[in-house]
Amino acid sequence: MKAKHQRLVLVIIALVAIVGAGLLAAWSLRNQANYFYLPEQMASEPPAVGQAVRLGGMVQAGSIKTEADGVTVNFMVTGNTADAISVRYSGILPDLFVENSGVVAEGSLRPDGVFLATNLLAKHDENYVPRELEGMGTQQAAKMAADTTVGLN
């Protein structure tokens, strides 16, 4: 075989291997996809019962109810419309989880229409300040940051 033909065969084999690897990766990750729903999307076209999805929206004011066990919390997530989805979560709540704040709940929809969350991610706005820096001025915060990084160099 001529060198030109050998190179052509090697290029074709390499392309087939790359396409095969891509298809194999896509096939293996097909069940790992975690779709994101807004409350109005979940109300109009709910996902399959038990399918892992993410629900994102705002925690409705006055909807947070803690059960007697102290760990299970029920609340409503709203979006841009009047649609609200009931969410149930058992576990430790994030520090930033409050009414009228953003939340992303990972979990699945139950047959009764309640979203069973396995993980909560609380979102903060652009004005977020860590507890350690609350009440400090810009100068004090900068000095504290400088003092904590002195020993790292």
CATH class given for the domain over 34-122: mainly beta
Name the 3-class secondary structure at 69: coil
Phi and psi at 73, nearest 5°, equal: -125, 135
Distances in Å between the Cα of 134 and the Cα atoms of 115, 127, 138, 141 are 35, 11, 11, 9
How high is the pLDDT of residue 77?
92
Q: Which residue has the tokens 């989880």?
A: 97
How high is the pLDDT of residue 127?
62
Give the length of the chain: 153
What is the rounded distance in angstroms from the CA atom of residue 73 to the CA atom of residue 103?
A: 14
How high is the pLDDT of residue 140?
75
Structure tokens at 110: 């139950």
Q: Which residue has the tokens 């291997």?
A: 17
Is residue 46 within 8 Å of residue 57, measured between CB atoms?
Answer: no
Per-residue pLDDT of the chain in tens (153 residues, 90 and over written 9): 788 889 999 999 999 999 999 998 888 777 666 678 888 888 888 888 888 889 989 999 899 999 998 889 999 999 887 788 999 999 888 888 888 888 999 999 999 989 999 999 887 666 666 666 666 767 776 777 677 665 555
How high is the pLDDT of residue 150?
57
Per-domain residue ranges of the chain: 34-122
The C-alpha angle with vertex 17 and arms to 22 and 33, in degrees rounded to 5, equals 10
Q: What is the CA radius of gyration of the chain?
A: 25
